Amino acid sequence: MEIATQSTLADTLGVSVRSVSAVLGNGQSTSSRVGAATRERILKAARGLNYRPHRQAQLLRGVKSGVIGIIKPTSLLQTAVERSYFVSQAIQEAGYGLLVNEILWEEKGGHRAVEAMLDARVEGVLFLGDVSPDAAVPAERQPLSRAKIPMVAMGSAPSPGILTVAVDCRQGMRDLTKHLLTLGHQRLTLALPISPEETGVPTPWNFAERQAGFQEAADAAGLSETQARVLHLAPSDNWRDNYAIGREVILRLIESGERPEVLLCSSDNMAIGAMAACVDAGWKVPDDIAITGFDGITLGQYSRPALTTVAQPTEAIGKRAVELLLKKMRGETLPTNELVKLPCHVVVRASCGSKPSLALSLPTQSA
């Protein structure tokens, strides 16, 4: 069935295009001049003939798009998928449509995404995670700023001139490290992706925050550098395999001849890959080495042993980001350059060697 135009409806009903436009074109002052019977005939015919408004024409007349844009990098990580889901849910519950632009890690990806948002006349934009691997992100957002389109960033490093909602990774890793210390562990190694010394690429903000939380807890406990070590690794070239880096961690420990009491992995995927490598190496978890993760993905509770982790508040952070964006869209005054952090919580399971009584004393919930 062809999509009917206002001219089609006018010809079918024997009324003027002006009357049809008054009823269907969001013009309240003029539609009131059309009789009730004629108005009802036009609306009924529009439904029956599959009429759809010309959005571009409406936008040119100043009608709001009713659309919020989401710009996000391509990711297979569960936390990224969950954030996107909860953000989309909150936007639709608020009565807005969605325009999602998922970009790859390529030079012009962010610019193209921003141009798509401008073309669609979105009323607001949410950035989910870093949309570019370098410092060019703020420059990419400048066209949106010039167009006075409200923006909120979520889960990324703080950027100048934009309100950012993020997980308090520092607090989460600090709490996890403190828990491990209460178990009597004294030799801890934190594994992180990216080695600044070898690659010249700075550690991503979220992982730098994890490292800071680990170091704060270790310093407070009086651990030396040899007792609290940080191991950097380059991520796998295979972007579909998020577990390979965990295997690499164990191989590095075997090569060095040093086995810590606890290996703190900066992600659950890394931890699950490390536990699989421990099986190949003949190491028992947690008897020979305790292992923990970070993120709170579902797979962690089904691994054997079940994975101790730090759960991210994916639903809360998504809803909070949308709430703040809607406030900006309504013209409410909010701090422009502010970082809003939401707390994580430790989920204690068997992989860290906790006794059941101690595990029950900490907050737990399904990852």
Residues 110 and 15 in one domain: no
Is residue 365 domain-resident? no
Report pLDDT for 90.
95
**Quick one: tokens of 199?**
């690659």
Report pLDDT for 25.
66
Distance CA 166, CA 232 (A): 23
Is residue 1 domain-resident? no
Residues 330 and 291 in one domain: no
Is residue 366 domain-resident? no
Number of domains in the chain: 3
Report pLDDT for 291.
98
In the block, which residue shows the tokens 């828990």? 179
Phi-psi region of 343 (alpha: psi -120 to 50; beta: other; left: phi over 0): beta
Report pLDDT for 313.
95
Report pLDDT for 76.
82
Domain of residue 50: give its range: 6-60
Is residue 367 domain-resident? no
Q: Nearest-CA neighbor of 79 among 167, 205, 175, 178? A: 167
Residues 227 and 298 in one domain: yes
Residues 139 and 235 in one domain: no
Residues 199 and 319 in one domain: no
Is residue 178 domain-resident? yes
What angle is formed at CA 346 by the lines to CA 177 and CA 238, rounded to 5 degrees?
85
Residues 47 and 104 in one domain: no
Is residue 17 domain-resident? yes
| Pairing state between β 124-128 and 290-292 | unpaired
pTM of the model: 0.78
Phi-psi region of 25 (alpha: psi -120 to 50; beta: other; left: phi over 0): alpha
Report pLDDT for 74.
80
Is residue 47 domain-resident? yes
Distance CA 244, CA 222 (A): 33
Per-residue model confidence as pLDDT tens for the chain (367 residues): 456 777 777 788 888 878 877 777 654 444 457 788 888 888 888 777 777 665 555 554 555 778 999 998 888 889 989 999 999 999 999 999 999 988 876 667 788 888 889 888 899 999 987 654 444 456 778 888 888 999 999 987 777 778 999 999 999 999 999 999 999 999 999 999 875 555 566 677 889 999 999 999 999 999 999 999 999 988 777 777 889 999 999 999 999 998 999 999 999 999 999 999 999 999 999 999 999 999 999 999 999 999 999 999 999 999 999 999 999 999 998 877 788 999 999 999 999 987 543 443 444 433 3
Report pLDDT for 3.
62
